[in-house]
Structure 1
Amino acid sequence: MSDLSNAISIHPYFKVQEGKLDAFKETMKEFVSRTSTEDTCLYYDFSVNGNIVFCREAYIGAAGVLKHLENVGSCIEEALAFSELFRLELHGPADELDKLREPLAELNPEFFAHVTGVAN
């Protein structure tokens, strides 16, 4: 089985406070720097639409997700000083998502269990 068979993608959406987008963009640099050291990261990037920031990211399994969140914990705290995490989705195999329900409960994420698709 490939690493993609147990990949978990995370989809956080941040609403940045008025006038704070440049500060958030500076924090993005630290997020990317730290994440670039993670061997379980499959992809990681940010997109912006007005004052909404979206991070597109995926990891190998629940363990990869938890490792990432530990690695960028202080970056998340910094970003939340001038933004609101208003939506958080996790997508992946049900058994891997189940491992994240308790540790991430405080973030109130939505979990989407994989049904079918293609991964090359």
Structure 2
Amino acid sequence: MATQDNCCSVAPYFQIHAGKSEEFRLICQKYVQWSAREPGCLYYGFSFDGDFAHCREGFQDADALLAHIENLRPILHEMGEVSTLVRIEIHGPEQALARLKPALAAMDPQYFVLEFGFRRS
């Protein structure tokens, strides 16, 4: 049974720099506000374990994820000023990942091909 789900999800993990937790959280709030205005964003949020953070992101398809990158482009540098990107995963159907690889290559993500699943509307 192959999937008909076109959702693409992103899972970046950040190590927050010492003494920068409050600044990081303020940036998170801004990122959530900017992402909330994207019609193709299914969910977006941050979770924490001390000074380690994870951003949980889901998009309708590859086009929605590419639109998200463009939406946040003016402020993406802010996160790098207060944290280090430790790891990033991209999950989605094979054809979607092929479209995303050129735009995300500089981040050196690990790609996971979605083979089985469903999505409720």
Q: Deviations over 1:60-89 (max 9, x none)?
A: 111111110111123321010111111000
Partner of 2:10: 10
1:29 and 2:29 aligned: yes
TM-score by length of 2: 0.92
1:103 and 2:108 aligned: no
Matched positions, count: 117
Q: Considering only aligned residues, what root-mean-square deviation do their CA atoms show, in Å?
A: 1.1
Contact 1:30 1:75 in 2 (8 A): no
Partner of 2:55: 55
**Identity of paired residues, percent?**
34
Gaps of 5+ in 1: none
Runs of 4+ in 1 over 4 A off after TM superposition: none
Gaps of 5+ in 2: none
Q: Given residue 96 of structure 1, which amino acid in structure 2 is its aligned partner?
A: A
Q: Secondary structure at the match of 2:54?
A: strand
TM-score by length of 1: 0.93
Q: Deviations over 1:86-109 (max 9, x none)?
A: 100010100001101111100101
Contact 2:5 2:117 in 1 (8 A): no
